[in-house]
Amino acid sequence: MRFVRSTGNWLIAIDLSDEIHILNPFSRVQFHLPSVSKFENVVNQNIDRNCIVHKVILSSTPLITKDCIAIAIHHHKRLVAIARLGDPSWITIQTPYYIDDVIFFKNQFYVVTVEGVAMVCDIVDRMASVLTEVLPVSGIGLQYELKYLVEMSGELLLVVKFLCHYNDHYEDYDEFFHDIKDPAYKTDKFEVHRLDILEKKWKRLLNLGNYYLFFGFNTSIAISAENYPGLRNNCIYYYTDDYAYGYISDKSPGGIDMGVFDLEDKTIRAHYQRVSNCYY
């Protein structure tokens, strides 16, 4: 199975038959969502679970309420769709193309576009309303960005990861592949923004206080440093490489873009000294 999200003790997984499951690995209880083939704009004979479904978020755990709603980022254009347990298919929510992340925050689904525009999803009207303007670009000279939504102490944060592509270091693609020591890209820095709902804008946050953030390609969480004194507060731990499936498809070296970013001194250090040989 490929796991695309975790919520509490529940994992959301896609099996080799492209069926989507919500399962508890301890109790073995399972629930089912519509399969990958039930998304709109999916060509049945060309389904690839690694490319079609990027992330699935739940409004609640299945045993807390029967009205558990799932929202998925899917398709290479990164569209958004919703489904309830037992639904026959996924229903598309009208949003711009290229949604970077989604979160269930204060009883609503929020999404963020690649431009940093926050939107609130109306699951009844199947529309998304714009909440903020485009986030000003500050990654001058960097190739691209990835954006994550996370709740911290009752506030919604937007974390932007700035990435340097291999073209910053190599003159051509062949030269890059001859040097297998370097990945296709690497993280350069992070920025954190806080959503001001009254003013409807993102505001730069320079300090996380007594918190630290954990990010992977399917889960983002904020944790108080008081409960885990062995870790460093005001830091961002990015613990899975977001491009893992891209490395597998193009056979390029990678899977090692992981580390700890310190918001105070802007440095990045490795989790451990040895090199991982695992794409994940």
**What six digits make up the tokens of 142?**
């960097």
Quote the CA–CA distance of 89 and 115 in Å, as a whole number: 29
Backbone angles phi, psi at 175, to 5 degrees: -65, -40
Average pLDDT of the residues in 144-165: 90
Q: For position 15, what pLDDT does the model report? A: 92
Span 64-103, pLDDT tens digits: 656 889 999 998 889 999 999 889 999 999 998 899 999 9
Please state, as a whole number, how many other Cβ atoms lie within 10 Å of the Cβ of residue 128.
Answer: 23
The pairing of beta strand 235-238 with beta strand 211-215: parallel
**What is residue 63's predicted lDDT score, i.e. its pLDDT?**
74
The structure tokens listed for 187 are 């993280």
Q: What percent of the chain has pLDDT over 90?
A: 48
More confidently predicted of 80 and 233: 80
Q: Are 27 and 62 in contact (CB under 8 A)?
A: no
Range in 6-15, 138-147, 164-173, 215-224 the model is least confident about: 164-173
Beta-bridge partner residues of 102: 111
Can you give the pLDDT at residue 183? 58
Chain-wide mean pLDDT for the chain? Answer: 83
pLDDT of residue 144: 76
